[in-house]
């Protein structure tokens, strides 16, 4: 069992009608606020007006950086950083989902760097200073609202890089489940697949660790499995949206890791898929997850699959461990591809094997992808092929 | 479902060999450190020397306040506050269990008050300022290492008052499971009963709330039930001590509450027992818990007991709900009085009914104790009698 440092000081305002605290929280960091958002859906829903009203009410100066893409691009990070420098921004306010929040995090770091923000992503340039970040979440998925990481894409080089740094942790996040009522069925499903995978990446681990956290992870997975279909069919179901929203934060804020420090497997593989084909991250993860599980199941790992099947899918604990294990993979496939109605193959979304070799090489950086089971380039290519 | 603010910024160093961070953490708050501890067991175990070495290594000035009692007394709080004023203390370091940490919290508040610290407990005097608190935990039980509350006793008036305030949250806590290896079988059992009750006080709730948190609470309870007997029979079992330690913090740090804001039931009743008879808090809770559950079980609450029995004690879900409910109370009694070997009645520990009437009146403040099921003075007296 490893030691660890638990340090998640993000303050969260959870629930409806908490936005009255926004002005005070922002003002705690300064007067000049840069509002960062995506394609404008927050204007349609009315959230933009609510946020701007609170900023004005607090007497703060508002600047804007809109147009953050899904799979946010380094060009947007550079654009936001330029505004910060020019306008002497004090605090960043991200209103959106994981893409907007991720971009905002690196805008905050790039605001203190004179070169291309990509240098920060490639760790050519260290993060030396940062702007504080406040978020208003509109999509339950990536957990960026309460974690210290983010992922940025470079379209030119077809690279997608994730980076963690303690200063990237938002200071304050507003989690109002009603702000996710307008998330459509498909994006709700992709978000659920994303958070489920965040937990699986940590849960599937053969190290001796804190059983308590296994129980917590099983509870989070049961929550996602219970409420994702409810939110899909009844988008304004507060109970479902609330459970999914809080589960999204706790799936990845570091609590469940408890010192395991295991490298992740599906995420590096998926980042190559969405770097090459710009697909929704959660969909890529959904397609990969059951193949990765199938590929890693053997006599040495079966006990973890058994635990998963019994505790999450309520499979009869008296069955043979390997039977339970295989059934658990079937049940997660059933959940992802039937309950969540997600496409089940790369072929279905127009991706063939033409880039698998280079994608596999990049995923393992030409070496071995550590994790639940170490995967070399050939293993990763095999898993990609299982997704066709 | 209620809204809530999640705000638990305590940094936790979890695991062995983390004490090297102590000096740096203390130094972040100032040079003059008051070390607060209990009856000297930390000198026997060697922890005192380790802590003092780190303080000296960091070049800090060390002051001491020892002799904090179990069920810590306001006289100790006043004594500690006097040292803070006289020596111009910058930061408090509590090394011990919940009693030591609770006393330290109120020493930090009373250091800025000129009168009797009891005025703070009775809320006659508001908390206006405070000293930052760092803790090194030696007993898994109260969760004081990561929560914003504490309980102080007044022997003269036979009062025991709990108080919550955000400034009481420790800044940093060191949770090294090996520091609990010397906790004996009985105190390990009392600690387990305490944390189990912290969860039950929140879990038994008929409001619609975050299912996700119910799953987390069930996981924490299963963890305590699994590992308390292991730690009792094998006191140096790291896995057991680690799971109990981290569970103790999360049982009561506020996370599992998720806006329920339900008043607690057993704790106010137990505080009267230990105020009158100075017994170990966890033991009082153990004796009360099954009686309180029995008293509150009826057709309107049976569904929660059913959920508890099926998910925590793995009782056959196909049985009648009331059958499962009654069996779940039997199983928790079995756990507390056979597995944990705790005394099962007040009679056994020499307490008779002579003060029940006044204790019941004080527990409900002459009115009604709200909570899972509101209890008036007569109800509370009935529950006390069930404990004979």
- Mapped to the 3 state alphabet, what secondary structure does B158-190 carry? CEEEEEECHHHCCCEEEECHHHHCCCCHHHHHH
Residue A59, token pair as written in the block:
């007497």
| Predicted pLDDT of residue A40 | 86
Nearest by CB to B226, which of A1, A211, A216? A211
Per-residue pLDDT 10s for chain A (388 aa) are 899 999 999 999 999 999 999 999 999 999 999 999 999 899 999 999 999 999 999 999 999 999 999 989 999 999 999 999 999 999 999 999 999 999 999 999 999 999 999 999 999 999 999 999 999 999 999 999 999 999 999 999 989 899 999 999 999 999 999 999 999 999 999 999 999 999 999 999 998 789 999 999 999 999 999 999 999 999 999 999 999 999 999 999 999 999 988 899 999 999 999 999 989 999 999 999 999 999 999 999 999 999 999 999 999 999 999 999 999 999 999 999 999 999 999 999 999 999 999 999 999 998 999 999 999 999 999 999 999 9
B11 touches chain A (CB under 8 A): yes
Is A221 within the bounds of a domain? yes
Is B59 within the bounds of a domain? yes
Mark yes or no for CB contact B239/A5 under 8 Å: no
Cα nearest neighbour of B146 on chain A = A6
Distance between CA atoms of residues B287 and B337, nearest Å: 9
Q: Are A74 and A153 in contact (CB under 8 A)?
A: yes
Per CB-CB distance under 8 Å, the chain B contacts of A222 are 215
| Predicted pLDDT of residue A185 | 98
- Whether residues B230 and B375 share a domain: the answer is yes
B41: phi then psi, degrees, rounded to nearest 5: -60, -30
Mean pLDDT, residues B168-174 taken together: 98
Nearest by CB to A226, which of B211, B242, B243? B211
Mark yes or no for CB contact B215/A223 under 8 Å: yes
Mark yes or no for CB contact B210/A243 under 8 Å: yes
Residues in chain A, how many?
388
Strands B4-6 and A11-14: antiparallel
Chosen from B25, B148, B216 to mutate, greatest number of chain A CBs within 10 A: B216
B17 touches chain A (CB under 8 A): yes
Determine the straight-line distance between the first and last CA of chain A, rounded to whole angstroms: 38
Q: Mind listing the pLDDT tens digit for each residue in B8-45?
A: 999 999 999 999 999 999 999 999 999 999 998 999 99
| Predicted pLDDT of residue B209 | 85
Is B3 within the bounds of a domain? no
Cα nearest neighbour of B238 on chain A = A1
- Whether residues A166 and A240 share a domain: the answer is no
Cα R_g (chain A), whole angstroms: 20
| Predicted pLDDT of residue A81 | 98
- Whether residues B67 and B165 share a domain: the answer is yes
For residue B155, CA distances in Å to B76, B104, B152, B161, B319 come to 11, 18, 10, 11, 49
Mark yes or no for CB contact A14/B1 under 8 Å: no
- Whether residues B152 and B198 share a domain: the answer is no
A354 touches chain B (CB under 8 A): no
Q: Are B203 and B301 in contact (CB under 8 A)?
A: no
Mark yes or no for CB contact A13/B2 under 8 Å: no
- Whether residues B168 and B276 share a domain: the answer is no
Mark yes or no for CB contact B211/A13 under 8 Å: no
| Predicted pLDDT of residue B40 | 85
- Burial (CB < 10 A; 0-12, 13-18, 19+), residue B267, is buried
Q: Is residue B261 scored above 90 in pLDDT? A: no
**A242: helix, coil or strand?**
helix
Mark yes or no for CB contact B13/A3 under 8 Å: yes
Domain that holds residue B320: 184-386
B43 touches chain A (CB under 8 A): no
- Whether residues A64 and A147 share a domain: the answer is yes
- Of A141, A161, A179, which residue sits at a domain end? A179
Is A2 within the bounds of a domain? no
Is A5 within the bounds of a domain? no
Mark yes or no for CB contact B212/A7 under 8 Å: no
Distance between CA atoms of residues A201 and A263, nearest Å: 8
- Whether residues B154 and B296 share a domain: the answer is no
Per CB-CB distance under 8 Å, the chain A contacts of B210 are 242-243, 246
Determine the straight-line distance between the first and last CA of chain B, rounded to whole angstroms: 38
Q: Are B130 and B107 in contact (CB under 8 A)?
A: no
Residues in chain B, how many?
388
Q: Are A245 and B210 in contact (CB under 8 A)?
A: no
Q: How confident is the model at residue B330 (pLDDT cuts 50, 70, 90)?
A: very high
Among B143, B136, B130, smallest CA distance to B36 is for B136
Interface size between A and B, measured as CB pairs under 8 A: 114
- Whether residues B242 and B373 share a domain: the answer is yes
- Whether residues A151 and A192 share a domain: the answer is no
- Of B139, B159, B179, which residue sits at a domain end? B179
Count: domains in chain A: 2
Among A10, A280, A42, smallest CA distance to A145 is for A10
* A260-264, B267-271, B342-346: segment of lowest average pLDDT: A260-264
Is A333 within the bounds of a domain? yes
Mark yes or no for CB contact B3/A16 under 8 Å: yes
- Burial (CB < 10 A; 0-12, 13-18, 19+), residue B111, is buried
Mark yes or no for CB contact B246/A210 under 8 Å: yes
Distance between CA atoms of residues B128 and B108, nearest Å: 11
Q: How confident is the model at residue B354 (pLDDT cuts 50, 70, 90)?
A: very high
- Whether residues B66 and B116 share a domain: the answer is yes
Distance between CA atoms of residues B267 and B367, nearest Å: 16
Nearest by CB to B211, which of A17, A215, A243? A243
Chosen from A173, A175, A214, A215 to mutate, greatest number of chain B CBs within 10 A: A215
Q: Is residue B277 scored above 90 in pLDDT? A: yes
- Whether residues B167 and B57 share a domain: the answer is yes
Q: What are the DSSP calls for B307-349, one per residue?
A: HHHHHHH---TTS-HHHHHHHHHHHHHHIIIIIS-----TGGG
The most distant pair of C-alpha atoms in chain B lies apart, rounded to whole Å, by 66
A247 touches chain B (CB under 8 A): yes
Can you give the CATH number for the domain in which B261 is found?
1.20.1090.10
In chain A, residues 219-238 whose CB comes closer than 8 Å to chain B = 219-220, 222-223, 226-227, 238
| Predicted pLDDT of residue B1 | 85
- Of A179, A202, A235, which residue sits at a domain end? A179
Cα nearest neighbour of B314 on chain A = A311
Q: Which residue has 């006097």 as its token pair? A: B82
Residue B210, token pair as written in the block:
């975050």
Can you give the CATH number for the domain in which B61 is found?
3.40.50.1970
For residue A169, CA distances in Å to A188, A260, B20 come to 24, 20, 25
Q: Give the angle subtended at the CA of B293 by the CAs of B289 and B297, to the nearest 5°.
A: 175
Q: In this predicted complex, what is the ipTM? A: 0.95
Cα nearest neighbour of A258 on chain B = B14
- Whether residues A43 and A114 share a domain: the answer is yes
Q: Give the angle subtended at the CA of A38 by the CAs of A37 and A40, to the nearest 5°.
A: 100
Mark yes or no for CB contact A211/B18 under 8 Å: no
Cα nearest neighbour of A242 on chain B = B210
């Amino acid at each position: 069992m490893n030691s660890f440092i638990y340090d998640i000081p993000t303050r969260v305002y959870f629930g409806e009608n908490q936005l009255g605290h926004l002005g005070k929280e922002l003002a705690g960091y300064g007067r000049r606020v840069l509002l960062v958002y995506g394609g404008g859906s927050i204007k349609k829903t009315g959230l933009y007006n609510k946020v701007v009203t609170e900023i004005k009410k607090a007497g703060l100066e508002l600047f804007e950086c809109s147009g953050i893409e899904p799979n946010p691009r380094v060009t947007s990070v550079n654009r936001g950083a330029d505004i910060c420098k020019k306008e002497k921004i004090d605090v960043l306010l991200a209103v959106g989902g994981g893409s907007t929040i991720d971009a905002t995090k690196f805008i905050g770091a790039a605001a203190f760097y004179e070169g291309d923000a990509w240098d920060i992503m490639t760790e050519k340039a260290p993060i030396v200073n940062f702007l504080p970040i406040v978020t208003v979440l509109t999509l339950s998925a990536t957990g960026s609202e309460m974690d210290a990481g983010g992922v940025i894409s470079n379209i030119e080089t077809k690279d997608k890089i994730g980076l963690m740094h303690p200063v990237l942790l938002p200071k304050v996040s507003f989690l109002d489940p009603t702000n996710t009522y307008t998330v459509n069925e498909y994006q709700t499903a992709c978000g659920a697949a994303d958070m489920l995978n965040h937990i699986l990446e940590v849960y599937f681990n053969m190290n001796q660790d804190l059983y308590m956290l296994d129980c917590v992870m099983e509870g989070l997975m049961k929550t996602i499995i219970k409420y994702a279909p409810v939110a899909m069919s009844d988008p304004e179901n507060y109970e479902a949206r609330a459970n999914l929203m809080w589960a999204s934060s706790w799936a990845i804020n570091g609590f469940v890791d408890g010192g395991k420090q295991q490298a992740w497997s599906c995420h590096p593989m998926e980042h190559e898929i969405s770097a090459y084909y710009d697909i929704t991250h959660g969909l890529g993860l959904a397609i990969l997850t059951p193949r990765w599980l199938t590929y890693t199941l053997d006599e040495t790992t079966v006990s973890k699959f058994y635990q998963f099947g019994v505790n999450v899918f309520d499979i009869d604990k008296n069955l043979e461990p390997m039977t339970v294990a295989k059934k658990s993979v079937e049940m997660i496939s059933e959940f992802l591809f039937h309950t969540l109605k997600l496409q089940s193959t790369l072929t279905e979304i127009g991706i063939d094997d033409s880039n698998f070799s280079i994608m596999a090489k990049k995923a393992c950086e030409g070496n071995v992808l550590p994790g639940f089971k170490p995967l070399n380039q050939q293993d990763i290519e095999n898993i990609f092929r299982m997704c066709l």
